[in-house]
A and B are shown apart, each in its own frame.
Chain A
Amino acid sequence: MIHFVLLISRQGKVRLTKWYSPYTQKERSKVIRELSGMILTRGPKLCNFVEWRGFKVVYKRYASLYFCMCINQEDNELEVLEIIHHYVEILDRYFGSVCELDLIFNFHKAYYILDEVLIAGELQESSKKTVARLVAAQDSLVEAAKEEAASISNIIAQATK
């Protein structure tokens, strides 16, 4: 299973972290520090797997972002590489040629999409179309709720409470 997902920028800034195995806050910071030190220093044309504390970290760089996933020794590295690519493609489709800024300002959406791709550290949906459809459906629910909240009557109700 995937123990955690990290998105790190080339400058070492964290853009997304999702932990499927329990780590304390302290451990999380340590993991991020260790891994960004390890992965960001690797040259461009090397293999995408690094061994780390008895685990394997599969990473791939897309533009300025490193997508990293940590798996067990015996898990399939190529499969995880495909999962990373799968996630990136979905992001790309959703944001329309995604860039780092999209993920910065829509960090919650990146999480929601990830939650449709992975659950409990396993891939849950291998169809990009399905994921896109589900995310769109949720977005429309959100929009509906937003509109309701932003309506004048609501603000008045709030003010006069």
Chain B
Amino acid sequence: MSGTGGPSLIDSLFQRTLDDLIKGIRLHIPGASQSTFISKSLDEIRREIKSTDLQTKSIALQKLTYLHSLHHIDMSWAAFHAVELTSSSSFIHKKTGYLAASLSFRSSIDVLLLLTNQLRKDLGSNNQHEVSLALECLSVICTPDFARDLTPDIFTLLTSSKSFIKKKAIACLLMVFSQYPDAVRVCFKRLVENLESAGDNNAQVLAATVGVFCELATKEPRSYLPLAPEFYRILVESRNNWVLIKVLKIFAQLGKLEPRLAKKVVEPICDHMKRSEAKSLVFECVRTVVSSFYEYEFAVKLAVEKIREFLMDSDLNLRYLGLQGLLLVAPHHLWAVLENKEVVIKSLSDVDRNIKLEALRLVMSMVSDDNVVEICRVLIGYALKSDPEFCNEILRSMLSTCSRNVYEIIIDFDWYVSLLGEMARIPHCQNGEEIEFQLIDIGMRVKDVRPELVRVGRDLLIDPALLGNPFIHRILSAAAWVSGEYIQFSRNPFEIMEALLQPRTNLLPPSIRSVYIHSTFKVLSFCLHSFLLPEEGVNSSLIKVDDIEPGFTYSESEQEFTENDHATSYSSMHKGDTFTQESIVNVLTLVITSLTPLTESHDVEIQERVRNVLGLAQLAQEEICSHHDQKEKMVDKVDLKTSTIVRLINEAFSEDLGPIPFNAQERVPIPNGLVLEDNLSNLDSICADVQLPINESFSLIKPTFLPTDGDSTSNQQNEEDSEVSAAESTSLLAEHRKRHGLFYLPSDTNKKASSSFPPANDPKQGDNDVEDLVKLTEESLVLKRKPNLSRPRPVVVKLDEGDRLPITVKKTDENDDLISGAVRDVLLGNEATSHSNNPSGRRKGKSHSKDKVENSETSSSSKRRSKHRSHGKNVEEKDENSEKSKQKSGGRHKSRRRADGHIDVAVQKPVIPDFLL
């Protein structure tokens, strides 16, 4: 009788069929009612599936499979029932069981082992359809265990007389190999033999075999070089497009490794290209030629011709592929792209987004330092016309292309910086983050461009409309930082001050607003310095830059500036009428009135910075106003308290910020006695001590605050605090500056580090700034090629790598290694000996690979001599090869021992297969 909880006979008789289930699901509206129905059906299925009647069970499982495959219902709990059904003698039950297994089984299922025996039984069945079921299932759910246990059975099937079974067994091998590389040693020979199968009956067998080799060769092509003659024969003789496409893929891989092979196959490939009607084959030929055989002019010419046909076709698919083909040609034959320039540019406004993207990539591939300006101009035009998504795609690729290898292709940085400014103003621009990064990055790396940078920054800052667009807040933040940091290049610091303090800045998020405020601080201290200590201004911070850049022009009127009138304009700027008593007083008033309300800001960062600025401004205001009467006495200014402070602040700011290598942090030696991996179990006790004072400072919030301010987490200082002594405030500011830098360059984990320890690649970077800059200037003035640039660049390149692409270790499947190792062994005729899955085995594989090339060379040369294969000779050659490999590996003890072993076995094993040649 049926087991506990199993269905009654009535249940079985009136079981809902699959049709009923599907109809039921369709009757219910998707959503709650449908899912109720499904869960009700699931309960039924759970009951029915326990039935002893296989028919009932089978229908239940089929329904469950349906729910699993189309409604994502978990069915791992039913795995046992699926296995049970596969063992049924009835074909329909078996089929249902296998379908469920192949759709739902995963290696984690524990009943998987139960299936092994059934699979073995079915693989050996007389009924070819049962064998087919088992093979199909295995090809999907194969695990290392299955592969290991069933390799012998599949090996047997490889010689099956029914091509229906044979092709499936062959296709299955790919999975088996990848799960259990040692299977290669058993099956590889038979697999290779199938390459020779010909005739109509065997067409599918050949296709399956080539398919397996195609997949194997994409993972590790080198091992399959010895089989090149076989593939060549197929390439020339086969008329089956499916097979030809696969063979072409194999040759695309092999051709890269063996130039002589390339020479041999280029012609047949061109023949196919000319002859074939099938676009898929033609395109495969094109792709093979342009990606692997690009040295053969005539082949490339033919391929480009075909690409052009594709590009002109009305079929969008072909146009898309044509663009892809061009993209593949581009690295080696840019002329092909230039020839089709119009089509490419036209495709930028295609209806299909994919085609547009492809065209964009192509346009980017054409970019060089000669035409970058022109291309960017065209692209900006397209960006303005395009939909927001594609517009941003254009901007993104422009940004990434231009910044590639640390702005390698940019010669005119003034132009590039203004381009960045232009991008910020494109309505849909969402690349704020990248533009922000580049503006600051360029500011730090390229001193020459700073005046232009400040000008671009100014244009962005003074436009109140931009503050309303959240997408460009990041750019504004960069503009504010640049304007503050390089304020000495500004034509009109007061204007920037006004821009930084304009009322609409309250639209900015706090983090960016605090940047604005800190920039205010820099601008203010610069103004005060220029006013109070005009001579020093020339002598200290500014002169530094001035010395560095003899050809540099301060940007009073950048356009017509030349070196000659530099001196005059400089003085007119700083000693002239810009910094009058009145204007300074105005600035101070402006600062104090605009920032005072912010002293009660919720944001700690803003509050703290505002207080710093106000501290300085109030002090200066007091002193300057009191000296108002005696303004003719310039000497007095120097003695003012403010002067001392401003001098110190400016000294702190005068240190130039520069890019820092990504790995700078790692270079900091860990201090003695600092244990980084220590358990932090006693952290609580430490924190308890630390937290106390913080809480106290929180409690300093004045009760006069608005009610909403109650939760303000400000770390505010008292009024008296802002009147700290000069030395204290300087150190405080230095501290801020340090943090400020951190804020901008996330990877620069230790900004101060630039002075305290040498950065990774350019130890004397700080000192060499002068030289670098001179070189950079010369370079941009004179001409391109950048041998002299090679010095500053390396630092940046490294930094760039670290910043941008996280280092991805190319993940080679260990199994692939094992497979190719095994393949080499088999091809060299020593399959039975080694079970190399240890390092020494791997090493041996390596040492063989060299021989492999020679081996293939001999093989292809011998093939050139005569197409007919002479077996005896080949066997000889084989032996020679093994000899060679023996001698070669003599240097390494481990491999030598192994190689010797192989030879011994080779002697015992009389027949070395001749399939190699």
Contacts and interface: CB of A to CB of B under 8 A. Distances in A.
Interface string B60-99: 0010011001101010000000000000001111011001
A120 B69 contact: no
B486 interface: no
Contact of B9 (A111, A148, A149, A159): A159
A133 B215 CA distance: 29
B52 A17 contact: no
Interface string B830-856: 000000000000000000000000000
B245 A76 contact: yes
Contact of A141 (B66, B107, B129): B129
Given A1-B215, A76-B284, A138-B129, A112 B19 contact: no
B171 A146 contact: no
A124 B204 contact: yes
Interface string A32-70: 000000000001011111110000000000000000000
A66 to B, nearest CB: 15
Given A76-B245, A107-B69, A119 B91 contact: no
Interface in A80-126: 81-82, 104-105, 107-108, 111-112, 115, 119-120, 122-126
Nearest to B212: A122
A120 B212 CA distance: 10
A47 B70 contact: no
B279 interface: yes
A14 interface: yes
A14 B70 contact: yes
Contacts of A127: 204
A105 B283 CA distance: 39
B66 A107 contact: yes
Contact of B174 (A19, A79, A111, A120): A120
A145 B320 contact: no
Interface string B106-143: 11000000000000000000010100000110011000
A48 B317 contact: yes
Given A24-B106, A79-B245, A46 B316 contact: yes
B279 A108 contact: no
A25 interface: yes
Interface string B12-32: 100000110010001000000
B280 A47 contact: no
A25 B72 contact: yes
Interface in B153-182: 164, 167-168, 171-172, 174-175
B599 interface: no
B326 to A, nearest CB: 15
B776 interface: no
Contacts, number: 154
B744 interface: no
B354 A51 contact: yes
B98 to A, nearest CB: 9
A120 B172 contact: yes
Nearest to B175: A120
Contacts of A161: 1, 52
B320 A47 contact: yes
Nearest to B284: A76
B281 to A, nearest CB: 8
B283 A111 contact: no
B317 A112 contact: no
A141 B208 contact: no
Contacts of B106: 22, 24
B316 A45 contact: yes
A50 B127 CA distance: 42
Given A124-B208, A134-B164, A119 B172 contact: yes
Contacts of B280: 76, 78-79, 81-82
A22 B143 CA distance: 11
A46 B70 contact: no
Contact of B317 (A1, A22, A47, A120): A47
Interface residues of B, number: 69
B207 interface: yes
A79 B140 CA distance: 22
Contact of B204 (A15, A45, A105, A125): A125
A152 interface: no
Contacts of B357: 51
B123 to A, nearest CB: 15
B171 A46 contact: no
B192 interface: no
Interface in B228-242: 240, 242
B352 A46 contact: yes
A72 B218 CA distance: 11
A79 B249 CA distance: 13
Interface string B335-372: 00000000000000001111101000000000000000
Nearest to A7: B70
Nearest to A144: B91
Contact of B96 (A16, A108, A159): A108
A142 B208 contact: no
A127 B136 CA distance: 19
Contact of A126 (B96, B174, B207): B207
B518 interface: no
A5 to B, nearest CB: 12
A83 B856 CA distance: 34
B245 A158 contact: no
B806 to A, nearest CB: 16
Contacts of A45: 316, 351
Nearest to B200: A127
A140 to B, nearest CB: 10
A51 B168 CA distance: 30
A126 B352 contact: no
B211 interface: yes
Interface in B547-586: none
A48 B279 CA distance: 15
Interface string A1-29: 10000000000011111111010110011
B168 A78 contact: no
A76 B909 CA distance: 42
29 contacts: A1-B174, A13-B70, A14-B69, A16-B70, A19-B140, A24-B106, A45-B316, A46-B316, A47-B354, A74-B249, A78-B280, A78-B317, A104-B22, A104-B26, A107-B66, A107-B70, A108-B18, A108-B66, A108-B96, A120-B139, A123-B207, A126-B204, A134-B129, A138-B129, A144-B91, A148-B90, A149-B92, A161-B1, A161-B52
Given A49-B320, A126-B204, A137-B129, 14 more contacts: A1-B215, A29-B72, A46-B351, A47-B352, A78-B280, A108-B18, A119-B139, A119-B208, A120-B140, A120-B172, A122-B174, A126-B207, A138-B91, A159-B9
Interface of B: 1, 9, 12, 18-19, 22, 26, 52-55, 62, 65-66, 69-70, 72, 74, 90-93, 95-96, 99, 103, 106-107, 127, 129, 135-136, 139-140, 164, 167-168, 171-172, 174-175, 203-204, 207-208, 211-212, 215, 218, 240, 242, 245, 249, 279-280, 283-284, 287, 316-317, 319-321, 351-355, 357
Interface of A: 1, 13-20, 22, 24-25, 28-29, 43, 45-51, 72, 74, 76-79, 81-82, 104-105, 107-108, 111-112, 115, 119-120, 122-127, 134, 137-138, 141-142, 144-146, 148-149, 158-159, 161
